[in-house]
Amino acid sequence: MKEDYGGQRSNMEDLSMVGTLASQAEVVWPKEREILRRRVGPWPRRILDLACGTGEALARIRGEGGGGVAVGVDLFRGHLRRAAPPVAHADARRLPFADATFDLVLNRHMLQAVPDPLAFLVEARRVLRPGGRIHLLVEDYSAILFDTVVPEDAELFRDVAPRFLPRGTDLHQGRKALRQLRAAGFSGITVDPFVVDNQGEDRETFAAIFRFWRDGYAGTLAELLGVAEAEARRRFDGMIAAAVDPGRWCGWMLLAVGAVR
């Protein structure tokens, strides 16, 4: 895989991604943790966090205890410098680990930016022990629902999705994860959808996700849509305004998809 993150290298290496990962973990992890605990059972001793970024989730995973080791891997050294060791710089298609090394492999908020997700999943399966589990937190951008004042603001990701695809980013990846896991040789596949929204979570933290997305992606989305960057930022601002409005519902559905080697 080229080091371009599905055509998003400049976005993922932008400083705004640090805030994105922090705010996403704050909002998403509590519900994701419940699913992970229920599906995994006794906490594994050897865990790999693929595309760990700055280590926001990795720190929480380690906080679950169990006395084992959780290793993070990422393609961007800048993020890894913010994550607590042990971490490794590596391409997820060519991991520097022996077969059957880990009991649990996690990948969160990232599979949509992998041009060849099947190769990614096959390699993840290789480093899992027989009976080990993979946990994916996958995104499908059709499942971001905002009651915006200007209706078109809520359709920003729908509009940009087909234009992102040629770059190697599939904003509809989430719905495809089940069949891709099956094609990679996994079994016992489970799908747990859940929603984070501006009614159940802290509104400012929820809205911060989209502020950081705006700051990191407005220029790219404007280029893809053929509009001025100010227009892309305006549409993000419409979603952000709705997110902090207690009188409007805004939500993001995510899929926790798991399977067994």
Please report how many Cα atoms fall inside a 13 Å half-sphere around the Cα of residue 257, on the Cβ side.
26
Is 9-260 in CATH node 3.40.50.150? yes
List pLDDT tens digits, range 114-165.
889 999 999 999 999 999 999 999 999 999 999 999 999 999 999 999 999 9
Beta strands in the chain (DSSP E): 46-50, 69-74, 87-89, 102-108, 128-138, 144-146, 187-197, 250-260
pLDDT at residue 1, as a whole number: 40
Helix-, strand-, coil-residue percentages of the chain, each rounded to 5: 50, 20, 30
pLDDT of 5 = 65
CB 136 within 8 A of CB 107: yes
Return the residue matching tokens 């089940």. Answer: 178
Per-residue confidence (pLDDT) for residue 10, from 0 to 100: 79
Question: What confidence score (pLDDT) does residue 65 get?
Answer: 82
Q: Identify the segments of the chain with pLDDT beneath 70.
A: 1-6
Q: What pairs with residue 49 in β-bridges?
A: 72, 106
Three-class secondary structure of residue 155 per DSSP: helix
Residue ranges per structural domain of the chain: 9-260
Token pair, residue 159, equals: 């509009």
Summarised one tens digit per residue, pLDDT across range 56-74 is 999 999 999 878 999 999 9
Amino acid of residue 249? W
> What is the pLDDT, as a whole number, of residue 15?
86
What is the pLDDT at residue 3? 54
